[in-house]
Structure 1
Amino acid sequence: MALSAKLQVRQTQSLVMTPQLLQSIRLLQFTHAELEHFVDEEVERNPLLERAESVPEDMAGPEPESGSNSAGETGDDWFGKEAGLSSEAISERLDSSLENLFPDDPGRSEQLDPSLSMQWKSAAGGSAGGTSEGFDLEDLAAAPVTLRDHIAEQIAFAFTDPRERMIAAELADCLDEAGYLRADPGECAERLGTDADSVEAVLSRCRNFDPPGLFARDLAECLSIQLRARNRLDPAMRALLERLDLLARRDFQSLRRICGVDEEDLLDMLAEIRGLDPRPGLAFSGGNSETLVPDVEVRPASDGGWTVELNADALPRVLIDQTYFARVSAQTRDQGEKDFLGQCLQSANWLARSLDQRARTILKVASEIVRQQDAFLAHGVRHLRPLNLKTVADAIGMHESTVSRATANKYMNTPRGVFEMRYFFTVAIAASGEGESHSSEAVRDRIRELIEAEEMSCVLSDDTIVDRLKEEGIDIARRTVAKYREAMNIPSSVQRRREKRARAGLKG
């Protein structure tokens, strides 16, 4: 058989992830802050886009001469006819249709099912309001003081010798975010070319810095520095700090014997220990806190059901200036500039479609979650039903991955508080009889309730809790009870018994 080069034409089908498709997938799982940042970047580089809050009122009205269209409107009204382009012509400019951008929910642009008993206040669009003139006071806020900055100020006042300042700065660089020294002073001395005694002397003075507890090498040393600053580091307290392992096990009887104190004095010492800060450096690690903005609002409806609405503050508002596009396109003769304008219009239309589809997807998912967890909203966590992504996805006709992205880092404001949407997806725990399975979160709450109600004379072991739950129709293993108890930071029955006895002795 002779070998030769040939040209062959083949027709194949393949799934291609276009950049717009990848960006649409990311857009669905963006948090509120990430979405705002992304839209701000799009508005900055696209001259056809405007934030609704910064657009003059004469561009936001419904009149045709406004030439601007809200990104939250549905149907062909997004792309007003003032630009001289029909919706078909604009669709041809897009390299991906709505079906391709959202394959998990193909082309679902029809009206939402009214049986869901919901109202939709879409914040993806709307009329423009406000102005961008003036300034934001937050822009003038001072930068947060870091732990390094705080220590550097104290080093400048505590040391006048340049050599000692250099040693103190080196020690400060070896602190972790909690304020603990994570380097050996001998190694620091070798690095700086000095003797270990000089480093220890500087370290001893640094331990007087504010807040007390900095430059400690372990927890016991951190607590002792704080107690010394309060003039409370007596021999009994030293003995207690040397046996923190017994304190962690709640072995109060051994601690009384080692410290040489009675039960009342020991409880006073423990109360003083609890008032200390085991991680003093963390006070400088937090930046500006972001306000949690719920994506969905759930309120009781007049007919006894629930009203599910999108939060108008959680979705950005953008406008597309079709008049500007038509005017500039008519005056442009350069092909490169025309291509640029076409790309800007395509990007603006894509963003409008994506924001609207994102809002619809979140609303559908949230409405189905509310329908599934109606008992929780009405009666509390004990009535939380087991729920998984597949159940919601099958009910609303979407893919599980879409539901997963739509619930990632999204929050729902309900009459019982603000919950992450992932909170409502819980593992099912089988019933001991023929009843319905139980939610793991509901079982956790029941375990917590049983432990909180126990008395000193009857502290419940994990085996006893298992028996109690089986009597209530919950089939659960002992290791699962122990796992849930540890996740809730509840000590074992032995530790709880010791602590209850100590508290009873204090009351007596």
Structure 2
Amino acid sequence: MALGPRLEIRQSQSLVMTPQLQQAIKLLALSNLELETHVAEALEANPLLEIGEVSRDAGDSETTEAPQEREADALMDGALESGDSALDIDTTALDPERAPGDGGDWGRAASTGGSGEELPDLENRAGAGPTLAQHLTEQIGTATHDSREALVARRLIGEIDEAGYFIGDLALLAEEMGIARSEAERALELVQTLDPTGVGARTLSECLALQAREADRYDPCMARLIDNLDLLAAGDFARLKRMCEVDDEDFADMLAELRSYDPKPGLRYGGGSDTAVVPDVIVAPGRKGGWDIALNEDSLPRLVVNRDYYLELREGCIDKRSKAWLGEQLTEASWLIRALDQRARTILKVAAEIVKRQSGFFTEGVIAMKPMILREVAEAIDMHESTVSRVTSNKYLACPRGTFELKYFFTSGVASGDGDGASAEAVKLRIRTLVGAEDPRKPLSDQALVDQLNSEGYDLARRTVAKYREAAGIGSSAQRRRQNKLAGLG
């Protein structure tokens, strides 16, 4: 077949991301602090924008448009539709951080950086407990009765970083304190017996080995696996299985056990500075029952177009280039004002659906939380999951029970006796309650927790209970027994 040039007509569809649409999607995902920075940059770049008062009805589900020039409305009619669909598109294919299908079951990973920890009331998060150094120092007195060893151990605690790793040089520290290195090593071993397990390790392998010993899983096979983390990182599973002399099932179990360990145990404790959280949505009890949901006007930027300055500049434009520039500035200013209003209404719409579905949380607390995923909320308000995902990122809700990130209300669920299911947060709360009421001398094992929860109508397996216990920051029965003994309770 001969090759040659020819003309061809093809019809295809594609999603075109205009600069305005890209800006709208970006605004939707910004936190309050990031939005404040973005607005400040826009005010500096566009002479037609200024800070003004925006009238909003706190009890309304829709916010009113900011006052602006009629010319701006006319220019923007074709650029931005008034409906919510203007910002509601499937952008998963355009967002490298989200894979197709991601977001159906949010769980806790997205809201906690994948650590599996729950999100407590944000008003009590930062600075709520002792620092790691304080926590470790408090345990020294019960861990040893040797005052000299305790003194050396306290000095070594000063060389532990915020992640829980010992970063000092034992030889130099021993020389500085005028003791033998062997004595310094014994003091470090003492520090490594303190809570949290894994603290005082010098390497990741040592940290994981300490946790494996605590869990009574440090057998020769696990030791070989921990000693060859480089092969694990490279994905050379076949070689690791041969070295550990285990089959596929045992190897999978070892990997699951290894992933359950905390590579940075020190981060469970404080030490950072308090950070203020400004809620985007305020929920308050309604006068006639139910809940009143309103946007926090203090967190909303108040932008308007300076009408007088625009008219003055327009009269002074004598050439096409100046007029074109002024038109561009007006278009950009008007688009930003409308996009900000659209962002506010979208946040309110999503928050209202969350409050509706999680009404039990606001009346009874965490124990009444229901399983909820992004897809359910997206379908209820006729939006795409990616839109709901962006709306709930770095957005906060204030209610009588505290201030919470919107993602806190999205959680996986387990079967329960009433048939409605129970959220993972409710299960964690129940586990904390049971552990809090246990006999310090006889901590409840995971199987005992399973039996108790099953008797209450929760359909849970032992592995699931262990996962929720660890996610709630509760140690194993062996760890709790040791802590109770150190505290003089056991």
Same fold (TM over 0.5): yes
1:482 aligned partner: 466
The answer to whether residue 457 in structure 2 is matched with residue 473 in structure 1 is yes
TM-superposition CA deviations, 1:107-155 (whole Å, max 9, x none): xxxxxxxxxxxxxxxxxxxxxxxxxxxxxxxxxxxxxxxxxxxxxxxxx
Q: 1:238 to 1:9 in 2, by over 3 A?
A: closer
Q: How does 1:58-69 map to 2 (within 5 A)?
A: none
**Pair 223,354 (structure 1): closer, same or farther in 2 beyond 3 Å:** farther
Q: How many residues align?
A: 348
CA shift, 1:475, in A, is 0.9
- 1:80 corresponds to 2:69: yes
Q: How does 1:8-407 map to 2 (within 5 A)?
A: 8-52=8-52, 74=64, 78-81=67-70, 85=71, 87-92=73-78, 94=79, 97=81, 101-104=86-89, 213=158, 219=166, 239-247=186-194, 290-407=275-392
The alpha carbon displacement at 1:246 in A equals 4.0
Match of 2:105?
Answer: none
Q: 1:426 to 1:505 in 2, by over 3 A?
A: closer
Q: CA deviation at 1:104?
A: 3.7
Q: Match of 2:446?
A: 462
Q: Can you list the C-alpha shifts for 1:303-329, whole angstroms capped at 9, x where unaligned?
A: 111111100111111111133223322
> Which range moved further: 460-469 or 16-25?
16-25
1:452 paired with 2:436, answer yes
Q: Deviation digits for residues 266-288 of structure 1, max 9, x if unmatched? A: xxxxxxxxxxxx89xx97xx6x7
Q: CA 1:383–1:332 in 2, change beyond 3 Å: closer, same or farther?
A: same
Moved more, 440-449 or 14-23: 14-23
Q: For residues 478 and 40 of structure 1, what CA distance do their matches in structure 2 show?
A: 53
Match of 2:476 in 1: 492
Provide closer, same or farther for how the CA distance between residues 78 and 223 of structure 1 changes in structure 2, counting only shifts above 3 A: farther
- Distance change >3 Å, CA 7–CA 503, structure 1 → 2: closer
SS in 2 for 1:219: coil
Shift of 1:458: 3.3
SS in 2 for 1:313: helix
Alpha-carbon spacing, 1:26–1:410, altered in 2? closer, same or farther (3 Å): same
Counterparts of 2:458 and 2:19 in 1: how far apart (Å)? 49
Task: Name 2:415's counterpart in structure 1.
Answer: 430
CA 1:50 to 1:227, structure 2 compared with 1: closer, same or farther past 3 Å?
farther
C-alpha RMSD of matched pairs (Å):
4.0
Q: Which residue of 1 aligns with 2:98?
A: none
Residue deviations 1:163-189, cap 9 Å, x none? xxxxxxxxxxxxxxx9xxxxxxxxxxx
CA displacement at 1:86 relative to structure 2: 7.7
1:5 lines up with 2:5 in the alignment? yes
Percent identity reads 43
Amino acid at match of 2:483: E
> Unpaired segments of 5 or more residues in structure 2?
56-61, 91-132, 134-151, 198-265
Q: 475-484 or 464-473, which moves further after superposition? A: 475-484
* 1:87-116 deviation digits (Å, cap 9, x = unpaired): 445535x4x5556742449xxxxxxxxxxx
- 1 CA distance for matches of 2:33 and 2:441? 51
Structure 1: stretches of 5+ with no match in the other structure: 54-59, 62-71, 106-177, 179-206, 251-277
Other-structure match for 2:202 = none
* Letter aligned with residue 420 of structure 1: E
Provide the rounded CA distance (Å) in 2 between the counterparts of 1:323 and 1:220: 63
Letter paired with 1:80: E
Check the 8 A contact 1:43/1:49 in 2, yes or no. yes
Q: What displacement does 1:482 show?
A: 1.3
Amino acid in the other structure paired with 1:40:
A
Equivalents in 1 of 2:345, 2:422: separation in Å? 31
Distance in 1 between residues matched to 2:355 and 2:179, nearest whole Å: 55
In 2, distance between residues paired with 1:466 and 1:215?
Answer: 37
Alpha-carbon separation, structure 2, partners of 1:301 and 1:478: 42
C-alpha displacement of 1:43: 0.9
1-structure distance, mates of 2:63, 2:362: 31
Letter in 1 for 2:18: T
State the TM-score, normalized to the length of structure 1.
Answer: 0.60
Report Cα offsets for 1:372-401 as digits up to 9, x if no partner: 111111111100111111111122121111
2:414–2:424: 8 Å Cα contact kept in structure 1? Answer: yes
Q: Secondary structure at the match of 2:282?
A: strand
SS across alignment from 2:77:
helix
Distance 2:41 2:307 in 1: 20
Label 1:387 to 1:359 Cα distance change in 2 as closer, same or farther (>3 A).
same
The separation in 2 between residues aligned to 1:447 and 1:227, in whole angstroms, is 44
Once the 2 structures are TM-superposed, how far is the Cα of residue 333 of structure 1 from its aligned partner? Answer: 1.8
Displacement of 1:80 after TM fit? 3.3
> Which residue identity does 1:359 align to in structure 2?
A
Q: Measure the CA separation in 2 of the matches of 1:14 and 1:220.
A: 54
Change (3 A) 1:454 1:227: farther
Residues 361-370 or 331-340, more deviating: 331-340
Residues 249, 495 of structure 1: 8 Å contact kept: no
How far did residue 231 of structure 1 move? 12
